[in-house]
């Protein structure tokens, strides 16, 4: 399994490119669907020339996300016995399912990153007005003022990130569950919200990421990118289950969009795995994208 780290002094130096002007497509890493063997030690971070912007860290390899941040004993067991080296943490947002995060504290962040884990911070804010899941209906975007709401929630996200010790330069991934992309009024409000959220997150020194279903939110943003929309996310995290892990071959995305080092594929969900006697229900992810910067 490939694990790669790049530490840079500016967002542009990581190889990230804004999605309105995609870089030429590059071959992406593929991985087996079932990670089992212990991973090799990661290569040392490489530092690029300094810049006024916050440093950004890129990770390539296997990861998972789970609703509740696991306790440190579980994280240590999985670090020792699994090939996973990155974990998605649900750190904020009014639509977050596991709002009572028992273990997710600044100390947890320091200890997990200190032991070799890479963090993918996920913010579950207001959802699309035409969200498919009924459990998200109470959290729909205000169609009367989606821009102000996106700005407010972007500021909330960066405030929560700073409180956890996630430094500027970290990506913050906005989780937008599946919605009806055939509803033009709905998609217009959703896009306005996302763009405002992105602007605020970037203004506060963070990278903006976006998670959604490949055939829903991700397809919507790809259509917006092709139409020339600005203020789109820096990183895309697409969910397409039941297919081999693959960053390059996602049919909803143009080959050169969100490359290089700007894609995550969630390829399997709601499965239970056990390592070192510690069981977790997780979603599996293949990653070539920024992860949290923790000083």
Q: Give the pLDDT confidence score for residue 33 in this predicted structure.
A: 39
End-to-end CA distance of the chain: 27
- Domain ranges, residue 44: 4-291
Contact call for residues 79 and 115 (beta carbons, < 8 A) = yes
Phi, psi of 292 (to 5 degrees): -60, 145
| DSSP H helical ranges for 139-254 | 146-164, 184-203, 219-226
Q: Give the pLDDT confidence score for residue 43 in this predicted structure.
A: 34
Cα(32)–Cα(53) distance, integer angstroms:
36
Residues in contact with 51: Cβ distance below 8 Å, sequence separation at least 6, in sequence order: 9, 10, 13
Q: Give the pLDDT confidence score for residue 136 in this predicted structure.
A: 84
Number of folded domains that form the chain: 1
166: tokens are 């996630």
CB neighbours of residue 102 within 10 Å:
11
CA-nearest of 275, 285, 273, 260 to 8 is: 260
CA-nearest of 166, 73, 66, 174 to 113 is: 166
Q: Give the pLDDT confidence score for residue 182 in this predicted structure.
A: 97
In order along the chain (295 residues), what is the average pLDDT of each group of 10 residues? 43 39 33 41 32 82 98 99 99 96 98 99 98 89 98 99 99 98 98 99 99 99 98 99 96 98 98 99 99 97
Cα(183)–Cα(32) distance, integer angstroms:
36
Parallel, antiparallel, or unpaired: how do β-strands 4-8 and 56-65 relate?
antiparallel
Q: Give the pLDDT confidence score for residue 200 in this predicted structure.
A: 99
CATH number of the domain to which 181 belongs: 3.20.20.80
* Region for residue 18 given its phi and psi (left: phi exceeds 0; alpha: psi -120 to 50; beta: otherwise): beta
Query: Would the CA dihedral through 202, 96, 116, 15 be positive or negative?
Result: negative
Q: Give the pLDDT confidence score for residue 133 in this predicted structure.
A: 84
101: tokens are 């995060």
Q: Give the pLDDT confidence score for residue 102 in this predicted structure.
A: 96
Q: Give the pLDDT confidence score for residue 73 in this predicted structure.
A: 99
């Amino acid at each position: 399994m490939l694990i790669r780290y790049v530490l840079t002094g500016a967002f542009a130096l990581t190889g990230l490119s804004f999605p309105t002007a995609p870089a030429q497509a590059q071959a992406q890493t593929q991985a087996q669907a079932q990670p089992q063997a212990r991973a090799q030690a990661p290569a040392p971070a490489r530092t690029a020339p300094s810049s006024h912007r916050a440093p950004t860290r890129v990770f390539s390899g296997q990861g998972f996300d789970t609703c509740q941040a696991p306790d440190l004993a579980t994280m240590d067991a999985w670090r020792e016995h699994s090939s996973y080296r990155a974990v998605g943490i649900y750190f904020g947002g009014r639509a977050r399912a596991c709002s009572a995060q028992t273990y997710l504290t600044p100390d947890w962040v320091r200890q997990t990153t200190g032991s070799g884990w890479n963090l993918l911070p996920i913010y579950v804010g207001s959802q699309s007005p035409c969200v498919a899941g009924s459990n998200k209906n109470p959290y729909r975007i205000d169609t009367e003022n989606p821009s102000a709401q996106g700005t407010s929630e972007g500021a909330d996200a960066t405030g929560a990130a700073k409180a956890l010790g996630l430094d500027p330069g970290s990506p913050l991934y906005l989780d937008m569950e599946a919605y009806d992309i055939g509803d033009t009024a709905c998609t217009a409000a959703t896009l306005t919200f996302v763009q405002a959220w992105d602007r605020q997150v970037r203004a506060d020194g963070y990278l903006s990421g976006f998670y959604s279903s490949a055939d829903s939110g991700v397809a919507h943003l790809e259509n917006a990118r092709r139409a020339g929309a600005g203020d789109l996310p820096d990183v895309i995290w697409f969910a397409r289950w039941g297919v081999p892990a693959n960053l390059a071959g996602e049919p909803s995305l143009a080959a050169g969009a969100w490359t290089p080092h700007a894609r995550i594929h969630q390829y399997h969900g709601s499965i239970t795995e056990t390592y070192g006697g510690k069981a977790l229900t997780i979603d599996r992810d293949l990653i070539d994208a920024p992860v949290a910067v923790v000083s």
